[in-house]
Amino acid sequence: MRVTLFGASGLLGHDLVPELSSEHDQLTALSIEDVDLRDHARVRDLIRDSRPEWILLLAAYTDVDGCESNRDLAFAVNCEGAVNVAEAAREAGSRLLFVSTDYVFDGSKRSPYETSDPRNPASVYGESKAQAEERLLEILPEVCITRTSWLFGHGGKCFPATILKLAATRPEIPVVNDQRGSPTYTRDLASALVQLCRASARGIVHVTNSGDCTWYDFAKEIVRASGPPAKVKPVTTAEFPRPARRPAYSVMSPASLHAYNIHMPDWQDALRRYLASAPAAAATVVP
């Protein structure tokens, strides 16, 4: 399988590159240093030269709060940049897998979101990704749009790493307890995305680790499993206002993923594996 990957140096790209670097795959891995998605000509030339069967588009402006004050940049990268890739994919006859987000939903639902539920983003970041989804479906009807949430892994900053640092220096950590979603380990996500490509997936697919929790629940499990003596204190979103509104509930139904006979481990199992594979945490993980 010939694959061109945009976003190779990011959190997810860190695990997708080795997942695709096998004797069975020919991978062109591109980072922000290699290409700016806003450069239509450069994007087109790279795709034309690499002649991929699949293009995986991970690259995005993911600073959710930064997007609020940089709306033009958010849409230029997350929407118009994605359109540039889709148009080049259409010209090259390549399939496209686009990584999207739970932030396309407003969080007002109280049961898992289905792929058919209407988009209603509450943040600029969510708007930019939602509009990208709509545009890509118009340009490439066979595009595969994968929505995921609450990513953590070893390729960059993430919630467990932040909690572990805080737990090592503070006796108490306040964490929001009124936002619920599904933590997703980048290693599990990378594996699922490759399986979707091999299955010639199309349409919208929700891809997260199974189960759900609040950020407070997640933090408690991180501290419990890794051993720091810090106490995790539940707080409300109102007590920690941020520029961008987060969905209060963004759990997504796995039905679309199960349709391809792909099943993700639960988030607790994923967290245990993450902690066990982190050199600094390996010696302190509690079974």
The catalytic residues are 125
Angle, to 10 degrees, between the axis of helix 186-198 and the axis of helix 13-20? 50
* Cα 74 to Cα 67: distance, rounded to the nearest angstrom: 6
Place of tokens 């890794």: 226
Non-local CB neighbours of 243 within 8 Å, separated by 6+ positions: 65, 68, 69
Q: What number of other Cβ atoms are within 10 A of residue 284's Cβ?
A: 13
Place of tokens 């290693």: 187
* Cα 262 to Cα 257: distance, rounded to the nearest angstrom: 6
Collapse the DSSP code of 56 into the 3-class scheme (helix H, G, I; strand E, B; otherwise coil) and give the result: strand
